[in-house]
Structure 1
Amino acid sequence: MSIAKPQLRNLNGMFMRKVIISGIAFSLGLGFTIWHLICIPRHNRQLEYMKNADIYKMVEHMCSKNLLQSCPQNLADRLKEAGKLMEMADRMLITNENITDLLPYQEILNGLERSLLETYNHHHRPVKDENQGLIVLFFAVIQHIEEVNEEHQTMTVHGFQYLLWNDEYLSWNPEQFNGVSRLLMHSWHIWKPDLILYNAAGQADDSIRYTFYQHSWVESNGRVEHFPMFRYKASCKFDFTDYPYDVQSCPVILGSWNYNLKELDIRPLDRKPMLNLFWEDEKVIVSGWKVIDVHMNVSFWNAMTDQERSQWPPEEEHALHFPLIYIWIKMERYAPHFTISVLLPALVTSFITVVTFCMASFNKAVVLLAFNLLLQTVLAEDMLFQLPSSSASIPRIVKYFAFNLTATVFAMMSLVVIETVRHDGHGVNHCRILETLWSCFSFRRSTSSGATVGVETTEDPSSTDTSALNKENSRPRSTWAWRVLSPNSDTLNVIKISLAIALTTLYLIMMIAYLR
């Protein structure tokens, strides 16, 4: 069967297109392969040369000083020679002083660090004798007080610590390392004291988040200096008894969680913690509190009895005690407006209560006392709004406000009683009632005959005029009780003045006791 000419032409066209596409793809692949084999190694060699420029210079210098048996002539040989020198520097097998003098300082430090950490285990205490205790010296610098929360009774502080101890596995001979006697190492490569915040109020990792990514200085004799940054949110116990002039001391309690006193002895340096606040004029006052002092002491906590002691425990009890470092931050409330908003109104309302006893107008005195009660109620509500809700003890200012309110109510009742006695028949009605009550205790009547016992009669009782006797008995008797119970205007004034003096004395006592 013969193929038509149009179909043959189509087949030839498709074949030619496939041949052309295959040729282009083969050419691109061949070109990329040639470029990869020729250009990239050359580029890598240039980068390697730039990266190890110091090594090349050192090789050239060693060749000029005839310190090498055979000096490399081409680039490949120099690369091999540089690799050998770098490997020797890493393992610190070079003992020739002429060669160590020519090594870069950074390579010497890298080799020193690798040699120290080759067999080092940072999970164990750095002591060779298991029964030997490790002494760690502690110092703290407070740089910033972020917040003082009175409601939750917490305090957030920032700063850094200074820790000093001796690591027996981090020592070397400086002469073998071109005189290097001090090395800066990553802190997570070496052992560190596991200090945690015992009175933490936040998450557990808040105490160590800022201490993990730090570095430490290591000296050739094994002395290690560590400067961890910290952010502590410590819980406090505030006492608002002297509000609004209270002084609070909040501790930051630090100690080891895994090591007891026999294994780890944490001691404070012979100086108080440093308060180095940034922008000291502004940052010394935080959240209405002014930092006035920072001091530190050590305590020993017995894990068995859950008791603390400030004295050094006996040696046989070291395994039961854990040393705790207390950093005390002493603060006083800084609120000048409290003098105007709390203290001054309390004194003014007290003065108004006393003054009402000296006023001649009863109506004005009662109106003034009523206004005083209303004012005290508003002031007490405002003060309770400002008072911390977590106050365990009643502040003295609250007790004074309660006494002031009670004294005002007592003053109002006293004035009402005195004024009632003064104007209600000059006290006759009230005094008749009291006189009747008094007569019940002063005179006894016969239950059988109805005659009054104690009244002498010479006549027969049956012949006595009953109406005359009743008239005689109904007459007011001039006794001392009647004179006392029937006060005149002068006596009432004396009573008012006496009440004013007594109330003033009580106010002075309360001011001395609660507002000092």
Structure 2
Amino acid sequence: MMHVAFLLLVVFTVAAAPSKKVCSYQDILDYLNLTTNNSVFKLTRPVLDYTHPTTVELDIILFAILAVMWNNERISWDPAQFCGIRQIAVPRDMLWRPDLFIYEMIQKDDSPLNPYMHVSYDGIVTSEEDMRVVSTCKMDVHKFPFDTQRCNITVGSAAHCIDEIRLFPFSNSSRATQFSREVMKTQGEWEFLQLSVNSSNYTIHDRQWELLVYTFTMKRRPLLHVINFLLPILFFLSLDLASYFIADHRGEKLGFKVTVLLAISVLLLILNEILPSMSNNTPLIATYCIVIFALMLLSLLETILVTYLMEKDSASQELSLRENCKGKQEKVKIDECNTDENRKTCCSCICKASDSEKQHEMLPVAEEVLHYRFRYRIICTSQMDEIV
């Protein structure tokens, strides 16, 4: 009897104990009617009254992680009725999404899309996308390579005006700047300085549109360009100045200057590839290179002119020296032939020997002629030395 009473007590205790409720995400989807007919949730803007604007909060960091949040007025549930579930993930095609796009974007994003969106119990829908943004940016390279650039990323809606969608930044400028610096691993040529967020409006056809403008401020790291470009140009200019101490023999100085000028031309081609083709102001580095190139070109022209004048002066001195030598040669011949001792010899040199003369009779005359020729060469050489 006691055993039966104990068993009955256990049965009543188990039956009286509250059973734990089992919940699933599907229960929430069924409750929200997202499984049977979800056209109501994605065809139109999710508001119960069309006069209520949809508030969209936007967040962008340097790696283009685009986070968008908005309120869907048709979605809400009590977490207490669903085991405390406060958030679920649904496919992105099941709900309406704001038509946001980047105005400066020039290339379609090929990054894989996030297939899900997060929906909270109070109707807040969150969508996060990893994007690779290729955009246009107006650059001012006047102070290249010591320049600082500011590029804008403007986000807005294409179909909904300010009465239908209001855009607000999720993070302020300081928080966005701090988070962007934390996620950056390498910066390469550019140093990230600041990310600022501003709101602006514009009007088209009596309708006002709201935009969010994210401004990225970056500073170029100049060390690489200074080592690879500015210093070599200074070195080439120093070599060109040092070439004035080179003795000009057989055109070595002229060839050296031409080689240095060609090296500067190669550096100018490299600069043309680095700088953007369109700029409002002329870069200072381009002016710097043009001035150095002009100085080296003038130096080359000066060397060519000096070489030409030196060769012309040398040719005139040589011609004058030859004329002086020729005049002295004729004078020496006349003086030598006018003497009594050498008159016969000179005449013998001029007269033609007859066939009856023997070979040994001509030898003294030939020896005298060679003697006077050698003497003339000595006199002419001494006169040239005096002129030099």
What is the TM-score with the length of structure 1 in the denominator? 0.48
Q: Corresponding residue for 1:377?
A: 262
**In structure 2, which of residues 78, 86, 95 is the aligned counterpart of residue 190 of structure 1?**
95
SS of corresponding position for 1:248:
strand
Alignment of 1:443-458 (within 5 A): none
Instruction: State how far apart, in whole Å, the 1-side matches of 2:304 and 2:247 are.
Output: 8
**Any gaps of 5 or more consecutive residues in structure 2?**
1-10, 314-388
Is 2:23 aligned against 1:105?
yes
Return closer, same or farther for 1:418/1:202 CA change in 2, 3 Å cut-off. Answer: closer
Preserved contact between residue 380 and residue 401 of structure 1 (Cα < 8 Å): no
SS of corresponding position for 2:133:
strand
Report deviation, 1:248: 3.2
- The one-letter amino acid paired with 1:110 is Q
Q: Corresponding residue for 1:199?
A: 104
SS of corresponding position for 1:231:
coil
SS of corresponding position for 1:233:
coil
Q: Corresponding residue for 1:326?
A: 213
**Any gaps of 5 or more consecutive residues in structure 1?**
1-60, 68-97, 144-158, 305-316, 426-516
Alignment of 1:57-72 (within 5 A): 65=15
**In structure 1, which of residues 147, 167, 170 is the aligned counterpart of residue 72 of structure 2?**
167
- The one-letter amino acid paired with 1:176 is Q
- The one-letter amino acid paired with 2:292 is N
| Bigger RCO of structures 1 and 2 (CA < 8 A, at least 6 apart) | 2
Preserved contact between residue 197 and residue 255 of structure 1 (Cα < 8 Å): yes
Q: Corresponding residue for 2:152?
A: 251
Instruction: State how far apart, in whole Å, the 2-side matches of 1:423 and 1:372 are.
Output: 19
Instruction: State how far apart, in whole Å, the 1-side matches of 2:257 and 2:310 are.
Output: 24
Q: Corresponding residue for 2:372?
A: none
Report deviation, 1:113: 1.9
Preserved contact between residue 243 and residue 256 of structure 2 (Cα < 8 Å): no
**In structure 1, which of residues 90, 104, 126 is the aligned counterpart of residue 46 of structure 2?**
126
Return closer, same or farther for 1:243/1:383 CA change in 2, 3 Å cut-off. Answer: farther
Deviation larger for 407-416 or 111-120: 407-416
Q: Corresponding residue for 2:61?
A: 141
Instruction: State how far apart, in whole Å, the 1-side matches of 2:72 and 2:216 are.
Output: 32
Q: Corresponding residue for 1:214?
A: 116
Return closer, same or farther for 1:262/1:211 CA change in 2, 3 Å cut-off. Answer: farther
Report deviation, 1:331: 3.3
**In structure 1, which of residues 177, 186, 209 is the aligned counterpart of residue 82 of structure 2?**
177
Report deviation, 1:355: 6.0
Instruction: State how far apart, in whole Å, the 1-side matches of 2:180 and 2:32 are.
Output: 36
Return closer, same or farther for 1:185/1:233 CA change in 2, 3 Å cut-off. Answer: same
Preserved contact between residue 237 and residue 250 of structure 1 (Cα < 8 Å): yes
Report deviation, 1:375: 1.5
Preserved contact between residue 240 and residue 391 of structure 1 (Cα < 8 Å): no
SS of corresponding position for 2:153:
strand
- The one-letter amino acid paired with 1:400 is Y
Instruction: State how far apart, in whole Å, the 2-side matches of 1:134 and 1:185 are.
Output: 20
- The one-letter amino acid paired with 2:180 is L
Preserved contact between residue 299 and residue 323 of structure 1 (Cα < 8 Å): yes
Preserved contact between residue 216 and residue 225 of structure 1 (Cα < 8 Å): yes
Report deviation, 1:352: 4.8
Residues 217-264 of structure 1, C-alpha deviation per residue, up to 9 Å, x if partnerless? 313x32333323323222333444433444333333322122111111
Q: CA RMSD in A?
A: 3.8
SS of corresponding position for 1:408:
helix
Instruction: State how far apart, in whole Å, the 1-side matches of 2:83 and 2:301 are.
Output: 96
- The one-letter amino acid paired with 1:115 is Y
SS of corresponding position for 1:102:
coil
Number of residue equivalences: 291
Instruction: State how far apart, in whole Å, the 1-side matches of 2:89 and 2:219 are.
Output: 41
Instruction: State how far apart, in whole Å, the 2-side matches of 1:112 and 1:212 are.
Output: 22
Q: Corresponding residue for 2:284?
A: 396
